Amino acid sequence: MRLLAALALALAAAPAAAQPDRVINFPPGANASRDGFVAAIVTTGSLDQFAEAWIAGRPQSAITRIAVRGRELKAVVLLSGCRAGPEGKCDVSGRFTYTVPGGGRYGVIDDDALFNETARAGDGVLVALGPTLIVDPPDPMGEWTLQAEIRDNVRGTTIIVRTPILVESPPTGSNG
């Protein structure tokens, strides 16, 4: 609950005209736009640190692409321009696919309620919490990929973004 409260605080304190591409060094393909809808994806080892860094205007300091075995790596989706439905809320869903080195699929997570909150007026940036990855001891090392299909269901627009995830430590034993 503390994480959600910190992130809610970050959202409330975010300037309405925040431009994350000016303060975040996105890898190629990690942010995109279509028909006025913008989506981006980053990963962090700590939502508390991300929220604090967001408030301070330096979110890059809490972003990492390195997954440490046994520790959480949380996906954070940044949104702008989602269209409000009849109740004044955005309706954004996501499909998240993790792939391992060599292209094998590690897992797929569907989130039909990625962001279902009141739309922010103007050019404000909205933050949604994506899935959490925990790399198990036998999982392969190397460059993984997290691909996210982010859909503004009111507008009927889907954006595909992806970010690399690095697993630098070698596999050990089995997990079961």
Query: What is the Cα–Cα distance from 148 to 165, expressed in whole angstroms?
Result: 13
Q: Report yes or no on 173 lying in a domain.
A: no
Residue 176, in any domain of the structure? no
Q: Does 96 fall in a domain?
A: yes
Mean pLDDT, residues 15-24 taken together? 54
Give, in order, the Cα–Cα distances in Å from 113 to each of 77, 94, 108, 126.
Answer: 13, 8, 15, 14
Is the pLDDT confidence value at 101 over 50? yes
pLDDT at 6: 43
Domain-located, residue 174: no
pLDDT band, residue 103 (cuts 50/70/90): very high
Q: Which residue's structure tokens are 């409330």?
A: 12
Q: What is the pLDDT of residue 23?
A: 74
Q: What is the pLDDT of residues 31-89, one digit of tens each?
A: 999 999 999 999 999 999 999 999 999 999 999 999 999 999 999 999 999 999 999 99
Q: Answer whether residue 19 shows pLDDT above 60.
A: no
pLDDT surpassing 60 at residue 94? yes
3-class DSSP state of 22: helix
Does 62 map to a domain?
Answer: yes
Quote the domain boundaries for residue 106: 2-167
Q: pLDDT tens across 105-145, in order? A: 999 999 999 999 987 766 688 999 999 999 999 999 999 99
Contact of 32 with 52, CB cutoff 8 Å: no
CATH number of the domain where residue 47 is located: 2.60.40.3880
Q: Is residue 55 part of a domain?
A: yes
Number of domains, the chain: 1
Do 27 and 65 form a contact (C-beta atoms < 8 A)? yes
Higher pLDDT, 86 or 174: 86
The reply to whether 122 falls in a domain is: yes
